[in-house]
Every structure is written in C-alpha cells, then in structure tokens.
Structure 1
Amino acid sequence: MNQSRREALKAGAGMGLFGVLVAAGLLKPEVARAEWNKVAFDAKSLDEALKALGASDAAESGDVVLTAADIAENGAVVPVAVSSKLPGAQQIAILVEKNPNTLAATFTLPEGTMADIQTRVKMGQTSNVFALVKAGDKFYMAKKEIKVTLGGCGG
C-alpha cells in the first residue's frame, strides 16, 4: 500500500471517529459566533442606537460616502454601499431612522482592511439612512434620504 493512501485512510478514520463522538454528544466543538451589540440592535430610535454604539457625538464627514439609489422600488431589498477614506477605520454601521429597529447592520473591519462594504437593508418607509464609521476611536457619519415606493418592513 502506498504511503499517501495510508495517510488518507488514517485521516478519514480520524474524522469518522470525531463525527461519531460529536454526534454522541461526547465532544462539543466550539461554534464561531460573531460578537454583536444586542442593545444597539434592539434600539427603537436613532439616538438610542447611537448611544448604544458609543457614537452620540458622531460628526458628519465628507470622508464617509454613503451610496444608494434616491428611490428604492422595493423596501425589502435596498442596496446600500458605504466607503470611508478615514485612516484606521475599525467599524461601519448602517442605521435606518424610521425602521422599527434603527440599526440595520454593523461590520467590524480588521486592521489594514479597506473600509468599503456593500449590502442590502430592509426599509419600511421613506427614511434617512445613516452610515456610521468608527476610526481612531471617533465616530463619523454621512446621511442620505431614500424614498421607498413599496414597503419592506411589514408594508
């Protein structure tokens, strides 16, 4: 029997045993979980969400760019992009002022990562959307009104 086949069989047997032990409940592998700020995501107003994020003193900045269509035809899927030219960006958050829960998304950026994200958010009605960037332990933001013609949050 050749050496690589033996190694493959050993690895397969090991994985099989691991699977049996996990299924039997004898081993519990750690599950990777993203950290999240429950208080911020449960916030019902812009001020509550900003306070929970520690961004009550966020300043508007031209270095934060929020890109989205002026009119969203379907509030269930509104494409939003945020980019920042601020050095040392650590976090990007998207907040929708008139949603039942204001904070729509947060992204933690590892050091050296380009601060440029794209996602889709749900909007129940026409509202101001805020892009919040944490850089150097300070918060900066940009704002844009997006008009919704067909509601996505229960509308």
Structure 2
Amino acid sequence: MQESVIDKTVVQEPLAGQFAGGVANPLQPGSRIILAESDDLCRKRMQGILEDQGFKVFSVADGFELICRIPEWRPDILMASVDLPRLTGPQVCALLQQCPDYQHLPIFILSHGDRHNQNTAFELANCGADGVLSSPFSTEDLSAILAPSVAE
C-alpha cells in the first residue's frame, strides 16, 4: 500500500486500484457499503457523504451488528471504526479473513489518530484491512480511499 499525508491525516490507499489479494476495486455508484461507527454524528456525516456520491449505505453502531448484517445486506465494502463496541474494526476484519465467503470483502478501518496507542497501531497493521483512514479527514480523503484508481 502506498501512504499519503493530507493535512496531518494519513490515508493508506491500495495500489493500482486494487484491494488486498489483487481484487479489483468493485465500487461504483449503487455499490453497497456497511458503515460501522459508534459516534452518531460521525456516522451520520459519513453516511451523508457516501450517499451523496451514489453509494447505498447501511449503518450500524457496533461490530457485532456489522457481522450479523453482512448476509442480509450483502455489502460490496465494509468501513469499520477501530474502536467499535462489542467487536472492534480490527477484530471484525480478522474474523472475516477466516471466513471463505467473506475473506475477499474489502474492509477499511476508520481510525481516530488522536486515540492511537502502541497496541492499536499493532492491531491495525496486522488485522488484514485493505486500508486505514485516519481522522480528521475530508470528503476528498474519504472519496480517495474508496476509489483509488480515479487518480491514475
């Protein structure tokens, strides 16, 4: 993954418009995204941004509900906060990596950079996520992580 710094925000983007394992970026208007964020204001803001870009967004407030909703909502991508209750974003990612039906599902972790500690950084580096979006971030940062091939 290549890393770019935007106004103290670190956005890790997949290379060459691909997600982990060489899976091509499947996102286009109408793609389904599950957004898991425990902060109501942040979740609503992100959902609005994503819907304005033409995505169908399902939102949840914890990692356990995210896992439970995957079969019903059949997402094209997951976005999960690092500090979700019940199951954290990295824990969700690690669980899905073990499931053959979902191990290629693109997962992005939403990280709150000011709350990082050494354990969180280690967990993020080893959970198998396709990318990490650190806050604070802009609409452009969110768009960039979802459509890495646009810049090519």
TM interval, short-chain normalised: under 0.3
| Higher RCO, 1 vs 2 (CA within 8 Å, ≥6 residues apart) | 2
TM (normalized to structure 1)?
Answer: 0.26
TM (normalized to structure 2)?
Answer: 0.26
> Which structure is larger by alpha-carbon Rg, 1 or 2?
1
